[in-house]
Structure 1
């Protein structure tokens, strides 16, 4: 009955408890556009939600098309609801991460509509970083090697990449650049080391039809016909787990 209030007030439900409360409410045919869900935030270090539990709780609300929210934490803000303030994230694993990486993770789940900064006050630099995040497309930051050449830099930064659908356990393959840039030469460099998970590779001139194909390493290996052009930033490596066959993504 509250969801049919004459003032258009939104009724917000707690998302951080995996109980049947929401299903019970839905069974009474509420005015669902005026029901929202929001996760808790957790000031005490070690008390934030584990990721698997967060997903389970959030899926209840997604299944019922309930607008949802969760919290990220500023590294600078010290103001919160309690005297203890070790940050204010929803997820414990987010507590030490940069604020934009926290937001990328929440949106990459496909389960969260609104991302809220839990603790005040986030500085201009964090707000600017959040403003750069594309909530609809996972974008990963790459640290380039010193010897990356112009064609490789273009291959990394320009296309809308997608993970080829016939997947393998060795690498994530973005194959269109080898078509678009099949005429450009790409001499070998940084190709004699063992590639590690998260390394970004481009096929060199010795790779025949696979020249200029972009790959992201999933399993360590060696291959002289590939050049290492960079690495996904260490604090974003876990975001690769959100990519699926045919997922679109950007690198910058």
Structure 2
């Protein structure tokens, strides 16, 4: 399934002009999904329709798919029924997210709505909710999954629980989404906004690392920035994330040679299939650069987890092989060329047998 990036909007808390400017910026960078909250509407059906139809129409013209976040109270507020979703279709929405669930059969029936609206389910509960809906022969292509976000610090999902919840949906081939948080955005649905991530471990991390981690799990198809408005820099950082190949940052050592930097920058790194516990081995550089000299340097100490090393001239046939250290060890036949930042060590577990990856320098 193709992977996407998205933004979030809160029309009842924001300015329409700023929303349009934000949508345009995101569209220009390749964003294609909008999570739009309707949980706070209080202005009556006509005003709500006018406001949301305008912003959704603008987003659609920029190529966005818009999913509206709704709750049972919205239906009472707008005097509409779950048995008739025409109101949301008339707004131009592509789907509705059910903040609260029903009995399974109801969701199944909703997935056959005549307007082709996707029915997005809450993924952040590790129960057989999805399986129950599918057992009622739901219209699978119109069933999506999306995690919650959590405005209160300390309240977001722990990693293991997130994985278990996500696997339920991925096993069934359902399109999935989750949230990362901007460190500049101040808009969300409620009056508390300590960031809006799905994962608690992401709350203080750089936004691009959050996105890389989400995609690396292989369980999330669409990564959405939960709060608005992300800064231009944040939008750009998420936009350039490789959604399919694991990307790691490397901070080069000062004595790293131009040859070693060339090896590190090679676009075709992959981990050997017959893995070792000591290091991730990328062996093709030793073939590609077998005739290039690589004098020893920075090799008289114990290498630590996340160190990037390259075989030097004393390493025989393994000269110019690149490795990422997984277990501390010493070996003077290897040169330390750089380090993966500590906060990015969460990505090392995704360097599986045959995994393709790239290293990107920020210095």
Given that residues 256 and 337 in structure 2 are in contact (C-alpha distance below 8 angstroms), is that contact kept between their aligned partners in structure 1?
A: yes
Map of 1:127 onto structure 2 = 235
**The residue matched to 1:69 in structure 2 has which SS?**
strand
The aligned residue for residue 211 of structure 2 is 103
Residue correspondence of structure 1 range 227-246 to structure 2 within 5 A:
227-246=335-354
Q: Which has the higher contact order (CA 8 A, sep 6+)?
A: 1
The alignment's TM-score, normalised by the length of structure 1, stands at 0.98
Q: Is 1:35 equivalent to 2:138 in the alignment?
A: no
Tell me the distance in 2 between the aligned counterparts of 1:19 and 1:109: 20
How far apart, CA to CA, are the structure 2 residues paired with 1:184 and 1:102? 37
Correspondent of 2:326 among 215, 218, 224: 218
Q: Equivalents in 1 of 2:251, 2:240: separation in Å? A: 18
Task: Name the count of aligned residue pairs.
Answer: 252
Gaps spanning 5+ residues in structure 1: where? none
Q: Equivalent residue for 2:187?
A: 79
Distance (Å, rounded) in 1 between the aligned partners of 2:129 and 2:247: 36
> Could you say what secondary structure the match of 1:141 adopts?
strand
Name whichever of 33-42 and 228-237 sits farther off.
Answer: 228-237
Answering whether residue 151 of structure 2 is matched by residue 151 of structure 1, we say: no
Ranges in structure 2 where 5+ consecutive residues have no aligned partner = 1-108
Q: Which residue of 2 aligns with 1:187?
A: 295
Structure 1, residues 188-234: CA drift from partner, whole Å, max 9, x if none? 11111211100000000011111000000011111111000001122
Match of 1:251 in 2: 359
Q: Contact between 2:280 and 2:351, CA under 8 Å: does it hold in 1?
A: no
- Please report the RMSD computed on the Cα atoms of aligned residues, expressed in angstroms: 0.8
After the TM superposition, which parts of structure 1 deviate over 4 Å for at least 4 consecutive aligned residues?
none
Tell me which moved more, 241-250 or 180-189: 241-250
Q: Deviations over 1:89-128 (max 9, x none)?
A: 0000000101110011111111111111111110010111
Q: Does 1:53 pair with 2:161?
A: yes
Q: 1:13 aligns with which of 114, 121, 126?
A: 121
Q: Which residue pairs with 2:83 in the alignment? A: none
User: Secondary structure of 2:220's partner?
Assistant: coil
* Corresponding residue SS for 2:204: coil
Matching residue of 1:62 = 170
Tell me, in whole angstroms, the C-alpha distance in 2 between the residues paired with 1:176 and 1:125. Answer: 35
For 1:187 and 1:159, the matched residues in 2 are separated by 24
State how far apart, in whole Å, the 2-side matches of 1:211 and 1:179 are: 9
The alpha-carbon deviation at position 159 of structure 1 amounts to 3.3
Q: Distance in 1 between matches of 2:112 and 2:222?
A: 23
Distance 2:274 2:129 in 1: 41
Alignment TM-score, normalising by the size of structure 2: 0.69
